[in-house]
Amino acid sequence: MMLNYKFNRRYGLPGAQASEFAGPAVADSGLLRKRMTRQLQARGISDSDVLSAMRTVPRHLFVQEALAAQAYEDAPLPIGYGQSISQPYIVALMSELLQVKPGMRVLEIGTGSGYQAAILAALGCIVFTVEYLRDLYRNARDLLRSLGVGAVYPHLGDGTLGLPDAAPFDRIIVTACGPKIPRPLIDQLDENGILLIPTGSPTRQSLKCLRKTGGRPDLEDLESVAFVDLVGAYGR
Ligand code: SAH
């Protein structure tokens, strides 16, 4: 059954358009998000802005309608074309590790469903997001637009090349895994910037955090993760 889902929260920059969206009915999605947020807190997410963004963005609209009922479980879900939306914990963890502030310019590689981009916009960032697959790019662009997510700029292309015209970025987040950190992304990271990226083989990946200080990259190995392949010129 389809119900009118009224979504009129304001996102991103002041002046973002509120809009109405007819999406799948998920009874009490607000309650499900509250429960999801409590579980994230129990797993160690403590940034109150991140928790409130996770409580606000209707994740069930970013997954296929048949999977909407599972959208608030802590699991990745398929979004078609062999790709997946990360589990809520990983989205929250990466958002927390990025240490964003409102107004920061953030580059995301791997738009996928657009959910991570919507979370970053809810945190007040200006989000440039790049997707390689045309259908996913189109779906995410249209969904973000219909939700009135103001400060997200979707691009179609090979994100391992970055977006030279929009660089430099305060933060860069890569949500797919390649063998190494693409050089263009390091170059397009601003001084004092943070780049979060999983690297490794398809079966052994770890999340890396690169900080740029005094022009020098400083790399920290965080935890083991599981992402889909990063393809492209500097990918697999
Ligand atoms: N952040 C997404 C999940 C991404 S899944 C979300 O919130 O839903 C990883 C995505 O990266 C896939 O959609 C895949 O097509 C895309 N991808 C892989 N290699 C890429 C590249 N070189 N440039 C841009 N996107 C890429």
How would you classify the pairing of strands 169-174 and 152-156?
A: unpaired
The pLDDT of residue 24: 54
CB distance 38 to 168 below 8 Å: no
Q: Where are the domains of the chain?
A: 21-225
pLDDT tier for residue 213 given thresholds of 50, 70 and 90: very high
* Homologous superfamily of domain range 21-225: Vaccinia Virus protein VP39 (3.40.50.150)
Question: Ligand 1 atom closest to Cα of 178?
Answer: 19
For residue 83, the CA-to-ligand 1 centroid distance in Å is 7
* Residue of minimum CA distance from atom 14 in ligand 1: 110
CB distance 95 to 53 below 8 Å: yes
Mean pLDDT (the chain, rounded) = 90
For residue 118, the CA-to-ligand 1 centroid distance in Å is 14
Question: Ligand 1 atom closest to Cα of 133?
Answer: 15
What residue ranges line ligand 1, CB within 6 angstroms?
83-86, 109-110, 112-113, 115-116, 130-133, 136, 158-160, 175-176, 228, 230-232, 235
The pLDDT of residue 7: 35
CA distance 13 to 222: 31
pLDDT at 3 over 70: no
